[in-house]
């Protein structure tokens, strides 16, 4: 009996230690949670209620909580979403929202919204709006903003003003979603179309007409520039000819003023062939030729 009592006495603390170790291990495993990059943890108590502050800095890693608390991962990085709620792959969406122009012409609009939630207030957003906050407050506002902006334009002016529409929608969404701690970084209009085939055909024809008019205007501009270039070239050549003529006239005047009988005689001697060794000059004459006879026309012979 004493041996049995000793065994029971020894087994009791061993079991206590074992249970204690198990409790510690379970507590540790229940207290840490792994988060992906761009996510924080929403801490839930035993009743499933989300507590006021999230855990994590958005860079991922391990976070610790009380062992009885659970953690729901929440995305705080910039997300690109189609206006219908699907993730945007290369900013390409298929589902379009229907809007109407001033003339009530149906316009098909496809958009992508880029946004992120402030990590310091995401718990409050989840508490008040729930995990489906995108469907409740983001996408309905995107659709309404697009409809309101398209309504401001005539049918023919919608596509030419798509950048203006995009900017206005972005401004509206930033203002309307900021109170929810949702930061809109951009809004993209990926496509605008007209479901009515006749409207689309008419619009395409107008686009071609505008393009042809622009091409014709460009051709006229090029022709005008070429004409100006040719006129400038012709004027340049005329100016060059005038300058050369004026220069030649001035040179001739200087030459005529500097001519003397001695200079002419010297120039004539310089032009003689190098083979000539001597020149005979008639007695009483100072020049080789009678310059007067050269300059006075001869009378015709009978």
**Residues 198-221: tens digit of each pLDDT:** 766 666 666 555 666 666 677 677
User: Parallel, antiparallel, or unpaired for β 97-100 and 61-64?
Assistant: unpaired
Q: Give the pLDDT band of residue 197 (cuts 50, 70, 90).
A: confident
Q: Indicate if the pLDDT at residue 141 is higher than 90.
A: yes
Please indicate, yes or no, if residue 299 is contained in any of the structural domains: no
**Residues 159-195: tens digit of each pLDDT:** 889 999 999 999 999 999 999 999 999 999 888 888 8
Mean pLDDT of 109-131: 90
Which pLDDT belongs to residue 294? 46
Whether 87 and 148 share a structural domain: yes
Residues 6+ away with beta carbon under 8 Å from 123: 42, 43, 50, 51, 52, 53, 54
Q: How many domains does the chain have?
A: 3
Alpha-carbon gap, residue 199 to 100, rounded angstroms: 13
Whether 107 and 182 share a structural domain: yes
From residue 33, give the alpha-carbon distance in Å to each of 25, 28, 64, 127: 14, 10, 6, 21
From residue 144, give the alpha-carbon distance in Å to each of 99, 141, 172, 214: 9, 5, 10, 35
**Residues 44-91: tens digit of each pLDDT:** 776 667 776 777 777 766 665 666 567 777 888 999 888 665 655 555
Q: Indicate if the pLDDT at residue 152 is higher than 90.
A: yes
Q: Indicate if the pLDDT at residue 112 is higher than 70.
A: yes
Please indicate, yes or no, if residue 275 is contained in any of the structural domains: no
From residue 46, give the alpha-carbon distance in Å to each of 18, 57, 69, 71, 125: 26, 24, 6, 11, 20
Which pLDDT belongs to residue 163? 94
Whether 89 and 181 share a structural domain: yes
Residue with tokens 């229940």: 30
Query: Contact at 8 Å (CB) between 110 and 88?
Result: no
Please indicate, yes or no, if residue 140 is contained in any of the structural domains: yes
Domain final position from 136, 163, 195: 195
Q: Give the pLDDT band of residue 1 (cuts 50, 70, 90).
A: very low
Nearest CA-CA partner of 33 in 62, 59, 69, 74: 62
Nearest CA-CA partner of 81 in 69, 91, 71: 91
Q: Give the pLDDT band of residue 142 (cuts 50, 70, 90).
A: very high
Tell me what percent of the residues of the chain surpass a pLDDT of 90.
Answer: 18
Q: Residue 99 maps to which CATH number? A: 3.30.479.30
Q: Indicate if the pLDDT at residue 279 is higher than 80.
A: no
Which pLDDT belongs to residue 115? 95
Q: Indicate if the pLDDT at residue 6 is higher than 60.
A: no
Relative orientation angle of helices 139-150 and 162-177, to the nearest 10 degrees: 140
Domain that holds residue 226: 203-241
């Amino acid at each position: 009996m004493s041996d049995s009592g000793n065994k029971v006495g020894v087994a009791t603390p061993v079991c206590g230690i074992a249970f204690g170790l198990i409790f510690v291990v379970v507590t540790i495993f229940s207290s840490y949670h792994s988060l992906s990059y761009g996510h924080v943890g929403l801490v839930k108590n035993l009743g499933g209620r989300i507590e006021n502050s999230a855990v994590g800095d958005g860079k991922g890693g391990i976070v610790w909580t009380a062992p009885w608390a659970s953690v729901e991962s929440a995305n705080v990085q910039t997300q690109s979403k189609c206006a219908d709620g699907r993730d945007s792959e290369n900013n390409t969406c298929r589902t379009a929202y229907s809007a109407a122009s001033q003339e009530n012409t149906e316009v098909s609009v496809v958009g992508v919204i880029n946004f992120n939630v402030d990590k310091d207030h995401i718990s409050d957003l989840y508490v008040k709006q729930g995990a489906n906050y995108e469907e409740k407050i983001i996408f309905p506002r995107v659709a309404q903003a697009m409809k309101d902006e398209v309504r401001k334009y005539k049918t023919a002016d919608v596509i030419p003003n798509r950048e203006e529409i995009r900017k206005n929608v972005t401004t509206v969404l930033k203002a309307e979603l900021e109170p929810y701690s949702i930061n809109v970084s951009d809004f993209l209009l990926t496509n605008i179309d007209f479901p009515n085939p006749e409207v689309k055909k008419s619009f395409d024809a107008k686009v071609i007409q505008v393009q042809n008019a622009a091409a014709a205007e460009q051709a006229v501009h090029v022709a005008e520039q070429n004409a100006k270039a040719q006129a400038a070239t012709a004027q340049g050549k005329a100016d060059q000819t005038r300058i050369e003529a004026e220069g030649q006239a001035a040179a001739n005047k200087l030459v005529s003023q500097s001519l003397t009988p001695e200079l002419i005689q010297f120039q004539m001697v310089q032009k003689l062939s190098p083979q000539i060794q001597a020149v005979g000059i008639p007695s009483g004459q100072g020049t080789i030729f009678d310059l007067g006879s050269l300059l006075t026309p001869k009378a015709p012979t009978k």
